[in-house]
Structure 1
Amino acid sequence: MQERLRLYLDLIRWDRPAGWLLLLWPTLAALWLAARGFPGWHLIIVFTLGTILMRSAGCCINDVADREFDRHVKRTANRPITSGRISVREALGVGGVLALVSFLLVLTTNWLTVLWSVPALAVTILYPYTKRFFSIPQAVLGMAFSMGLPMAYAAVQNQIPPVVWWMLLANLCWVLAYDTEYAMVDRDDDLKIGIKTSAITFGRFDVAAIMGFYLVHKAIWWTIFWQHANLGATLDHPGWRHAAWLITLLVALAQVGWHYLLIRTRERGPCFVAFRQNHWVGFVVFLGALALA
């Protein structure tokens, strides 16, 4: 049993929390903005656990879909399914249980949130298979990783206001940025086995595209924060809100510069570091929402 548990934890990347943090920070930011402050422990627990569970379920689905490709990539050849230590049926069973528990958590919110959970699951299942025919599958991943934003507003306000669509666009750009960094790590292997990725599609413009996506991500989020800062300034003290906006913006732009320094040479090691550290980019977004909601 201990060995099986260890394999299951390896399957869901339990020792690599950066993956679910990439989903969690923007979702929590949306919760805070939707509630204009603390959203309550119930929603925090539901969305935190739901994020972890669905990311884990997504890993199961992804590894089942990619099992034939993964055996040809050194970084992924020893994954539990690819190496034969876990069967496809067993992995799908684990993923199904995790998704079911996540759905039960969503049922404690409202029906609009429940309805949004359906396309969230559908796009999670679809994403791994888009690598076979779509030149930028990272865009589909961006949709999957952004579903927590409308669900957060649905859970708090029981509606999806127009600002959510701007948040979705910002989050999509962020996913395109960091997952292109990730794809740059495996670009040589992916070319050999025929997988389509944004790193291959963008070619020599990969670094420029990533920087552009980061900047659009910052521009949208900090425009939203500025609006919240101005609204809050009319209600209480204007000084600290605008100072918080400026500080978080400068930190965010510094992160963009740091990522450029990491990926500009396109070396595998630094590109992987850039990808793995992206949860700090999301954390700064959350801090902005925390300060300005």
Structure 2
Amino acid sequence: MTSPASPAPGDFTDIRRGDWIDRFAPAAVRPYLRLARLDRPIGTWLLLFPGWWSIALAGSGPLPDLWLMALFAIGAVVMRGAGCTVNDILDRDFDAMVERTRTRPIPSGQVSVKQALAFLVFQLLIGLAVLVQFNLLTIGLGVLSLVLVFTYPLMKRITWWPQAFLGLTFNWGALMGWTAVRGELEWPALALYAAGIVWTLGYDTIYAHQDKEDDARIGVKSTALRLGDQSKIWIYGFYTLTFVGIGIAGRLAGLGGLFLPLLSLAALQLSWQVATWNPDDQTDCLTKFKSNRWFGWLVLAAFLAGKI
């Protein structure tokens, strides 16, 4: 007999057995690696790109500061893991009732809440070690970001727009990347931050359509439920604002002629997502969501090309 926390045949779960964690990691640490989502790096990429974009945009030369890029990469891995740990602690009861999430480490009983809290502290200490490498303004922004990290998981309980709060959280690196390079906050970073927020509204609405039936049943709110059959139209709007916002950020930063042609390729990637997306196909929702990694690379290439 299959327990409620174990995947039954045909279940749609975000835990994939037989991956690198199962093959190479000791059994005792596997649940923690999954708790930090190290088996699903797309979230780390989506958190990292706004910071990398901002570092590239703020730099004075054609190449970004590689040391800053490396620090942001480490920070993204750690803080994404910390955010997921907070999310899973707070959502453990909801996760146990949702097909996709009920096999996660906490609802399945592999990790206790106390163990998850200890792991959270460990991750935050690593994040602090990375953060103190930056200037004081960037450190201050990093500390301030914790308010968003710890409150975002609660938003699905009180608003139909938790994806907007995820956008505020996941794109904070657009502000920190700029201040890490320039030592001050300027308009290009703010424009990039705003563009990232609407980008997140688009891709996370696609992601939320995976769980819309379970969310409606258990009373969790999301833009997928709020927008319903109008989601495609809204996401076209979100992605249009993303293109415009990134374009404005690039122009404010004085990027050259190669910037817009490459940014247009990135816009085509967003258009492809929405045009070919099937909101009622869980697998397609996940595929389109993950494809935003390619959008991130194209925008980074556009910023770098604009510096030539």
Question: What's the TM-score, normalizing by structure 1?
Answer: 0.91
Equivalent residue for 1:262, pick from 234, 255, 276: 276
Against the structure 1 CA distance between its residues 64 and 282, is the aligned structure 2 distance closer, same or farther, given a 3 Å change threshold?
A: same
Task: Output aligned runs, 1:15-26, within 5 Å.
Answer: 15-26=39-50
Against the structure 1 CA distance between its residues 265 and 72, is the aligned structure 2 distance closer, same or farther, given a 3 Å change threshold?
A: closer
1:52 aligned residue: 77
Q: CA RMSD in A?
A: 1.6
1:223 aligned residue: 248
Question: What's the TM-score, normalizing by structure 2?
Answer: 0.87
1:7 aligned residue: 31
Find the aligned partners of 1:278 and 1:246 in 2 and give their Cα distance.
Answer: 19
Deviation per CA, 1:110-131: give whole Å up to 9, x if none: 1111110122111011000111
Larger fraction in helix: 1
How far off its partner does 1:173 sit? 0.2
Equivalent residue for 1:122, pick from 134, 143, 147: 147
How far off its partner does 1:226 sit? 4.1
Find the aligned partners of 2:190 and 2:53 in 1 and give their Cα distance.
Answer: 14
Equivalent residue for 2:100, pick from 75, 78, 84: 75
1:28 aligned residue: 52
How far off its partner does 1:227 sit? 4.9
8 Å CA contact retained: 1:225, 1:288 = no
Which runs of no fewer than 5 residues in structure 1 stay unpaired?
233-240
How far off its partner does 1:225 sit? 2.6
Greater displacement, 255-264 / 54-63: 255-264
Task: Output aligned runs, 1:180-259, within 5 Å.
Answer: 180-228=205-253, 231=254, 241-242=256-257, 244-259=258-273
Against the structure 1 CA distance between its residues 265 and 57, is the aligned structure 2 distance closer, same or farther, given a 3 Å change threshold?
A: closer
8 Å CA contact retained: 2:50, 2:172 = no
Find the aligned partners of 1:33 and 1:209 in 2 and give their Cα distance.
Answer: 28
How far off its partner does 1:268 sit? 2.1
Find the aligned partners of 2:243 and 2:64 in 1 and give their Cα distance.
Answer: 24
Q: Displaced runs of 4+ in structure 1, greater than 6 A?
A: none
1:171 aligned residue: 196
Local SS of the residue matching 2:263? helix
- How many residues are aligned here? 282
How far off its partner does 1:189 sit? 0.6
Equivalent residue for 2:289, pick from 275, 279, 285: 275
Deviation per CA, 1:140-188: give whole Å up to 9, x if none: 1111101111111111111001222211110000010000001111101
Equivalent residue for 1:138, pick from 160, 163, 170: 163
Which runs of no fewer than 5 residues in structure 2 stay unpaired?
1-24
How far off its partner does 1:280 sit? 1.1
Find the aligned partners of 1:259 and 1:208 in 2 and give their Cα distance.
Answer: 12
1:74 maps to a residue whose letter is E
Find the aligned partners of 2:95 and 2:260 in 1 and give their Cα distance.
Answer: 43
